[in-house]
């Protein structure tokens, strides 16, 4: 630690062994741990060399606690072995402080195997009376579920085949690994219920009502999750069953059926995780016909990639606007729109977004 009296403000000088195009930010107890705070973006002064000088009117806490990130907790500093680092601490208010980062996380990885969730097959053939079918359904329980007495929020996710299956045809979301990192960082613990899709009938089952894809069975499918699966899950596992602790989500057509789940049953689902929804299927989605008889506080995490299709971002922004402007829900609904201009319509981008969405929907009390 240097205490250079020629620096009347604290000047942090950072060196890093791994450098790339991503900017570096300081997140700490002075800015609510925000990870993309432009006021605390470091200036790059050379390859692997950054600095940040605190403004002269900065009010220092007794102990300055902070970490360096590349813009998100999925891209936070780690040590040379890939382990999480403890918060850095500083009590000086002036002079130069030299810091070093060995490596940075990328897409939340690496993960620690001992934090992996317990993956439990609920049933190979779970009865779906509304559709007269059977389905494979999984539960991902927190890693210490068996040794704790805690209760947990629940997220119901579509397309289980693509969520944590290493042999998935198009890659997978790696939600098990992402949940492991979230547990390690004490972001929060959650139960995920993963419902496999209907293979060749996937589109039909996720299609709600009469759309340009024809007549769908989506309403029956939503009733299955709401009336049959959720009561079973709440009786079998230690859940927090209230709407503010219950979410539903998915991507593409799975995102679309999740939107309708939240609209049909706002008293059941308080959190919606909607990735790259197939809104083109229902270009005239009409909210006026929905029964918002008693509106509820609802959080929607809405994600779209700029490299998915010509219309994806336009559709998603219009959906956001229509929802916000609806007289019944405008004061009750919080929508976070996340757009990755380089994002493609595939599992690896949804994988990166998954822990960000879960954190904001269920555990983020800093920035609602």
Q: What is the pLDDT of residues 290-328, one digit of tens each?
A: 554 455 688 999 988 777 777 778 878 887 777 766 655
Task: Give the per-residue pLDDT at 318.
Answer: 81
Distance separating alpha carbons of residues 10 and 60, to the nearest angstrom: 10
Number of neighbours of residue 86 by Cβ within 10 angstroms: 9
Identify the sign of the CA torsion 91, 97, 98, 102.
positive
* The pLDDT value given to residue 130: 97
Report pLDDT for 297: 82
For the whole model, what pTM was predicted? 0.81
Q: Cβ atoms within 10 A of the Cβ of 161, count? A: 19
Q: φ and ψ at 254, to 5 degrees?
A: -65, -30
Mean pLDDT score of the chain, rounded to an integer? 87
What does the pLDDT look like over 214-249, one tens digit per residue?
Answer: 888 999 999 999 999 999 999 999 999 999 999 999
In this prediction, residue 288 carries a pLDDT of 46
How does pLDDT run across 47-79, given as a tens digit for each residue? Answer: 999 999 999 999 999 999 999 999 888 889 999
Q: For residue 90, what pLDDT is reported?
A: 95
**Using one digit for the tens of pLDDT, what is the confidence trace for 94-112?**
999 999 999 998 878 888 8
Residue 171 vs residue 287, higher pLDDT = 171
Question: How far is Cα 70 from Cα 79, in angstroms, rounded to an integer?
Answer: 15
| Cβ-based neighbours of 24, under 8 Å, separated by 6 or more | 14, 16, 41, 42, 44, 50, 68, 69, 70
- Among 94-103, 175-184, 204-213, top mean pLDDT goes to 94-103
């Amino acid at each position: 630690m240097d205490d250079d009296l020629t620096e009347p403000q604290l000047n942090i000088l950072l060196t890093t062994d791994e450098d790339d195009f991503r900017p570096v930010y300081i997140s700490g107890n002075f800015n609510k741990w925000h990870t993309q705070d432009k006021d605390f973006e470091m200036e790059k002064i050379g390859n692997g060399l950054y600095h940040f000088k605190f403004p002269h009117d900065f009010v220092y806490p007794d102990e300055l606690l902070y970490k360096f990130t590349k813009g998100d907790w999925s891209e936070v500093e780690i040590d040379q072995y890939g382990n999480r680092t403890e918060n850095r601490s500083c009590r000086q208010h002036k002079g130069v402080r030299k810091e070093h980062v060995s490596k940075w996380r990328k897409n939340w990885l690496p993960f620690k195997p001992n934090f992996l969730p317990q993956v439990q097959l609920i049933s190979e053939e779970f009865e779906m009376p509304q559709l007269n079918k059977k389905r494979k359904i999984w539960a991902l329980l927190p890693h210490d579920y068996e040794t704790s007495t805690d209760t947990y929020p629940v997220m119901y996710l579509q397309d289980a085949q693509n969520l944590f299956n290493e042999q998935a045809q198009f890659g997978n979301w790696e939600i098990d690994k992402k949940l492991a990192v979230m547990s390690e960082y004490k972001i929060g613990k959650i139960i995920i219920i993963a419902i496999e899709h209907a293979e060749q009938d996937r589109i039909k089952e996720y299609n709600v009502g009469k759309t340009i894809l024809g007549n769908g069975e989506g309403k029956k499918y939503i009733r299955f999750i709401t009336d049959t699966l959720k009561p079973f899950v709440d009786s079998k596992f230690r859940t927090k069953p209230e709407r503010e602790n219950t979410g539903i989500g998915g991507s593409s057509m799975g995102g679309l059926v999740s939107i309708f789940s939240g609209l049909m049953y706002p008293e059941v689902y308080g959190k919606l995780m909607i990735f790259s929804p197939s809104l083109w299927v229902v270009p005239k989605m009409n909210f006026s016909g929905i029964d918002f008889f008693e509106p509820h506080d609802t959080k929607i995490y809405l994600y779209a990639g700029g490299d998915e299709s010509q219309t994806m971002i336009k559709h998603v922004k219009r959906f956001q606007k229509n929802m916000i402007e609806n007289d019944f829900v405008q004061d009750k609904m919080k929508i976070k729109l996340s757009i990755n201009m380089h994002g493609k319509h595939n599992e690896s981008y949804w994988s990166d977004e998954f822990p960000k969405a879960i954190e904001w929907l269920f555990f983020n009390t800093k920035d609602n």
